[in-house]
C-alpha cells in the first residue's frame, strides 16, 4: 500500500533556480504527473501540472518559477504509476532529486521495492518549499 | 477451424499416452514472455529450444538450488556457496553492472537479455563437475518491454490514472496525508479495478498480436571435471550449443520455428567419444490459444544411424496456465522400419498476473 512521502525543503531566496528531477531505476514502464500548487490553496501554478514517462531517453527535469522566493510555501505533488508491462513482476526505485542552481538540496527516494502479482502500483511525493 | 471442433479433436486423442508436466517458472525464466508463455517457440523448446540455464542443461540435469544474484556482492557469496554445496547461478551482467532503465533496455535489448550461468555438481566423493553457459536473445520482436503499441496504450492508461490520483491526492486533508493508516483507508476507497483490468487486457492483446513474431536465441555451454575439491586438475569434458528461431509464416496466423543443437563429450582418454546433433523444423498455423502444427526432425548420434521424424498435431490453451498438446507422427531410423508415435501432454504453467 503506497504512503505519500512528505518532505519540507528549505530553499534560498537568492540561491538561483530550483529544479526537480525524477529518476526511475527499473525496467517497468512508469508514468507520472507533477503539479506545483500555491501554498494557501491547491490551485496549480501557471505551467503546471506536467506529465511524462520513462520510455524515452530525455531527462525528466522541471524547473520551478523564478525568482526562487515565489515558491515559498508552494507544494510540489508528484504521482507516479509503476506499470508491470510484462506481467512477471520485478524491482523498482524512484528518486526525486531537488536542486537549487545545481546544488543538491534533497534526494527523496522510494527505496528498492518489489512489484509482484500487481498490475501497477502508485508512489506519491509531496514537497513543501520553505524559505 | 472452430474452437469446439478443435476441442473434440483433442478429446479423440485420449486413447494415446498421457504425460503430465509442470513447468514451474521463476521470475527470471519468465522474463522473456515469448519463450515462457507456451507459445510458438515453446513446443520447439521441448525438443531443441535454447535452455534457460545452459550450464545445467549440458549435464542434462536439474539443480535443487538456483541463485540469481542481483548485486556483485551476492555473486561472490553465491559462487562461494556453489563450489561448496553445488547448484546453479545465473546473472544478467548488463542488469547487474549498469543502472538499468527502461530506455537503456530498449536501446540495447541484446545486452540486457544476455545471461551467464554457472553450475556445480558436488557429489560426496569430492569430484566437482562445473558447467558454464552463455545465453543470448538476438531477436525478440515479441518482447513486451519493446512493444511500442503496448507502450503507448499503457502510457495513456498511466496518464489517466496519474491525473485522477493527483486531483484525489490534493483533495485530502493534511491529517490524512500524514497518517499512513488513514491514507491507506482512503486509498482503498479511491482504487478502482478498472485500471488494473485495462493493463491486463492491453498485455493480453499484445501477446495475441505478437504470438508469431520473430525470435532468435543462441546459447553455448561447456563443462569441466575435477577429480577432487581442490579444483586444481580441471579438464574440459563437454561442449554444447543451441540455436532456436521463430519467424512469421503465412501472414499473421502462421509461424515457422527451427531448433538446432549440437553436443560433444570427451572420454577419459581425452578423445571425443560422444557426439550428437539434432535439427527440427516446425510450422504452426492458428492463434495464440489454438494452433495446429507440422514438424520434421533429424537427429544424429555418433556410431548410430540417424533418426528422422515427422509429426502433426495441435496445441490448445484450455485455461490460463493449462495447455494441452497432442500429436501423431512417424519416426524412422535409417536401418529400421518406421514406427508410428502418438502423444497427449497436459502442461501446467504458473499463470501470469
Tens of pLDDT, residues A33-87: 999 999 888 899 999 999 999 999 888 999 999 999 999 999 999 999 999 999 9
Q: Across residues B166-187, what is the average pLDDT?
A: 94
Among candidate residues B185, B210, B235, the one where a domain is terminated: B210
* Claim to verify: residue B302 and residue B264 sit in the same structural domain: yes
Domain boundary, last residue among B188, B210, B232: B210
Residue B235 has pLDDT above 60, yes or no: yes
Confirm or reject contact between A29 and chain B (CB < 8 A).
yes
pLDDT score, position B47: 58
Please judge whether B199 and A84 are an interchain contact, meaning their C-beta atoms are less than 8 angstroms apart: yes
Q: Please determine, for residue B311, whether its predicted confidence score (pLDDT) is greater than 70.
A: yes
Q: How far apart are CA B67 and CA B119, in angstroms?
A: 10
**pLDDT (average), residues B236-245:** 92
CB contact set of B98 (below 8 Å; sequence gap of 6+) = B104
**Same domain, yes or no, for B54 and B116?**
yes
Q: Does any CB of chain A come closer than 8 Å to the CB of residue B80?
A: no
Tell whether B135 and B169 lie within a shared domain.
no
Q: Note which residues in 261-290 of chain B have CB less than 8 A from chain A.
A: none
Compare all CA atoms of chain B with the CA of A57 and give the residue at the minimum distance.
Answer: B103
Q: What is the mean pLDDT of chain B?
A: 80
CA B200: distance to chain centroid? 21
Statement to judge: residues B164 and B16 lie in one domain: no
Whether the Cβ atoms of residue B167 and residue B173 lie closer than 8 Å to each other: no
DSSP secondary-structure letter at A87?
Answer: S
Q: Which pLDDT score is estimated for A95?
A: 97
Residues 221-240 of B with CB under 8 A from A: none
The pLDDT assigned to B98 comes to 66
Q: Which residue of B has its CA nearest to A6?
A: B178
In this predicted model, which residue has the larger pLDDT, B53 or B98? Answer: B53
Residues with Cβ within 8 Å of residue B301, at least 6 apart in sequence: B275, B276
- Check CB contact of A5 with chain B, cutoff 8 Å: no
Same domain, B153 and B247: no
Per-residue pLDDT for B136 more than 90?
Answer: yes
Taking an 8 Å cut-off on Cβ atoms, the answer to whether B102 and A29 are in contact is yes
Q: What is the mean pLDDT of residues B28-34?
A: 30
Same domain, B59 and B166: no
Residue A35: closest C-alpha in chain B:
B166
Candidates A29, A51, A87; nearest CB to B352: A87
User: Are both B285 and B136 inside the same structural domain?
Assistant: yes
B108 and B54 together in one domain: yes
> What is the band of B21 on the pLDDT scale with cuts at 50, 70, 90?
very low
What is the 3-state secondary structure of chain B?
CCHHHHHHHHHCCCCCCEEEEEECCCCCHHHCHHHHCCCHHHHHHHHCCCCCCHHHHCCCCCCCCEECCCCHHHHHHHHHHHHHHCEEEEECHHHHHCCCCHHHHHHCHHHHHCEEEEEEECCCCCCEEEEEEEEEEEEECCCCCCCHHHHHHHHHHHHHHHHHHHHHHHHCCHHHHCCHHHHHHHHHHHCCHHHHHHHHHHHHHHHHHHCCCCEEEEEEEEEEEECCCCCCCCEEEEEEEEEEEEEECCHHHEEEEEEEEEEEEECCCCCEEEEEEEEEEEEEEECCCEEEEEEEEEEEECCCCCEEEEEEEEEEEEECCEEEEEEEEEEEECCCCCEEEEEEEEEEECCCC
| Integer Cα distance of B121 and B223 in angstroms | 11
| pLDDT for the residue B56 | 86
pLDDT given for residue B30 in this prediction? 30
CA distances from B120 to B61, B68, B70, B222, B232 (A): 11, 14, 20, 12, 15
Task: pLDDT band for B152, please (50, 70, 90 cuts).
Answer: very high
**How do residues A93-112 score in pLDDT, each as one tens digit?**
999 999 999 899 999 999 99
Q: Is the pLDDT of residue B91 over 60?
A: yes
What one-character DSSP code corresponds to residue A69?
Answer: G
pLDDT band with cut points at 50, 70 and 90 for residue B29: very low
Q: What is the pLDDT of residue B262?
A: 92
**Which chain B residue lies closest to A2 (C-alpha atoms)?**
B184
Least confidently predicted of B72-81, B108-117, B254-263: B72-81
Whether the pLDDT of residue B258 is over 70: the answer is yes
- The pLDDT value recorded for residue B1 is 40
Top-confidence residue, B228 or B203: B203
* Chain B residues touching residue A49 (CB < 8 angstroms): 163, 166
Q: Are residues B111 and B152 in the same domain?
A: no
Examine the domain organization and report whether B34 and B183 are in the same domain: no
User: Does B101 lie at the interface with A, CB-CB under 8 angstroms?
Assistant: yes
Residue A123 has pLDDT above 60, yes or no: yes
Q: Within this chain, do residues B31 and B177 fall inside the same structural domain, yes or no?
A: no
Q: Do B162 and A80 touch (CB under 8 A)?
A: yes
Q: Which residue has the cell 530506455?
A: B103
Across the range B224-234, mean pLDDT stands at 75
Q: Sorting pLDDT into bands at 50, 70 and 90, what band is B256?
A: very high
CA gyration radius, chain B: 24
User: What's the number of domains chain B is made of?
Assistant: 2
Instruction: Measure A36 CA to nearest chain B CA, in Å.
Output: 11
Of the candidates B172, B190, B210, which is a domain's last residue?
B210
Provide the CATH topology of domain A5-130: Lipoxygenase-1 (2.60.60)
Confidence of residue B27 (pLDDT cuts 50, 70, 90): very low
What are the tens digits of pLDDT across the range B201-225? 999 999 989 988 999 999 999 999 8
Query: Quick one: what percent of chain B has pLDDT higher than 90?
Result: 41
**Average pLDDT of the residues of chain A:** 94
Of A4, A27, A79, the CB nearest to B183: A4
Chain A residues whose CB is inside 8 A of the B102 CB are: 24, 26-30, 54-55
Residue in B193, B95, B105, B101 with CA at minimum distance from that of residue B147: B105
> Which residue range(s) make up the domain with B196?
143-210
Q: Indicate the range of B53-57, B94-98, B199-203, B299-303 predicted with least confidence.
A: B94-98
Q: Does residue B161 share a domain with residue B35?
A: no
Percent of chain B with pLDDT over 70: 81
Average pLDDT over residues B153-173: 96
Amino acid at each position: 500500500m503506497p504512503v505519500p512521502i512528505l518532505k519540507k525543503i528549505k530553499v534560498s531566496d537568492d540561491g538561483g533556480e530550483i529544479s526537480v528531477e525524477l529518476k526511475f531505476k527499473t525496467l517497468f514502464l512508469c508514468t507520472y504527473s507533477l503539479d506545483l500548487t500555491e501554498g494557501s490553496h491547491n490551485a496549480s501554478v501557471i505551467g503546471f501540472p506536467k506529465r511524462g514517462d520513462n520510455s524515452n531517453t530525455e531527462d525528466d527535469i522541471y524547473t520551478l518559477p523564478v525568482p526562487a522566493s515565489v515558491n515559498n510555501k508552494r507544494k510540489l505533488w508528484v504521482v507516479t504509476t509503476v506499470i508491470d508491462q510484462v506481467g512477471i513482476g520485478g524491482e523498482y526505485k524512484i528518486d526525486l532529486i531537488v536542486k537549487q542552481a545545481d546544488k543538491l538540496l534533497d534526494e527523496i527516494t522510494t527505496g528498492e521495492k518489489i512489484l509482484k502479482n500487481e498490475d501497477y502500483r502508485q508512489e506519491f511525493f509531496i514537497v513543501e518549499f520553505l524559505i | 477451424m472452430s474452437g469446439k471442433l478443435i476441442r473434440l479433436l483433442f478429446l479423440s486423442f485420449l486413447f494415446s499416452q498421457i504425460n503430465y508436466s509442470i513447468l514451474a517458472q521463476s521470475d527470471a525464466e519468465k522474463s522473456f514472455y515469448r519463450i515462457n508463455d507456451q507459445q510458438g517457440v515453446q513446443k520447439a523448446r521441448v525438443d531443441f529450444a535454447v535452455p534457460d540455464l545452459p550450464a545445467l542443461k549440458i549435464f542434462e540435469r536439474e539443480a535443487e538450488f538456483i541463485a540469481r544474484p542481483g548485486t556483485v556482492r551476492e555473486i561472490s557469496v553465491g559462487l562461494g556457496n556453489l563450489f561448496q554445496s553445488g547448484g546453479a547461478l545465473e546473472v544478467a551482467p548488463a542488469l547487474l553492472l549498469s543502472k538499468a532503465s527502461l530506455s537503456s533496455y530498449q536501446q540495447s535489448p541484446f545486452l540486457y537479455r544476455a545471461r551467464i550461468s554457472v553450475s556445480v555438481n558436488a557429489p560426496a566423493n569430492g569430484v566437482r563437475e562445473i558447467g558454464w553457459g552463455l545465453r543470448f536473445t538476438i531477436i525478440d520482436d515479441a518482447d513486451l518491454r519493446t512493444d511500442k503499441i503496448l507502450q503507448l496504450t499503457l502510457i495513456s492508461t498511466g496518464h489517466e490514472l496519474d491525473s485522477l490520483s493527483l486531483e484525489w491526492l490534493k483533495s485530502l486533508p493534511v491529517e490524512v496525508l500524514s497518517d499512513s493508516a488513514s491514507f491507506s483507508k482512503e486509498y482503498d476507497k479511491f482504487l478502482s479495478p478498472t485500471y488494473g483490468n485495462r493493463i491486463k487486457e492491453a498485455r493480453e492483446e499484445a501477446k495475441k498480436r505478437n504470438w508469431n513474431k520473430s525470435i532468435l536465441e543462441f546459447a553455448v555451454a561447456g563443462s569441466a571435471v575435477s577429480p577432487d575439491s581442490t579444483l586444481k586438475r580441471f579438464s574440459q569434458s563437454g561442449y554444447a550449443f543451441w540455436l532456436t528461431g521463430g519467424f512469421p509464416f503465412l501472414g499473421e496466423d502462421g509461424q515457422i520455428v527451427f531448433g538446432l543443437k549440437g553436443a560433444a563429450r570427451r572420454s577419459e582418454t581425452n578423445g571425443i567419444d560422444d557426439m550428437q546433433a539434432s535439427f527440427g523444423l516446425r510450422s504452426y498455423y492458428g492463434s495464440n490459444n489454438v494452433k495446429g502444427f507440422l514438424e520434421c526432425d533429424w537427429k544424429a548420434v555418433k556410431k548410430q544411424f540417424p533418426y528422422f521424424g515427422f509429426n502433426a498435431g495441435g496445441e490448445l490453451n484450455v485455461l490460463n496456465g493449462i495447455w494441452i498438446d497432442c500429436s501423431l507422427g512417424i519416426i524412422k531410423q535409417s536401418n529400421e522400419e518406421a514406427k508410428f508415435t502418438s502423444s497427449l501432454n497436459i502442461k501446467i504453467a504458473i499463470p501470469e498476473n
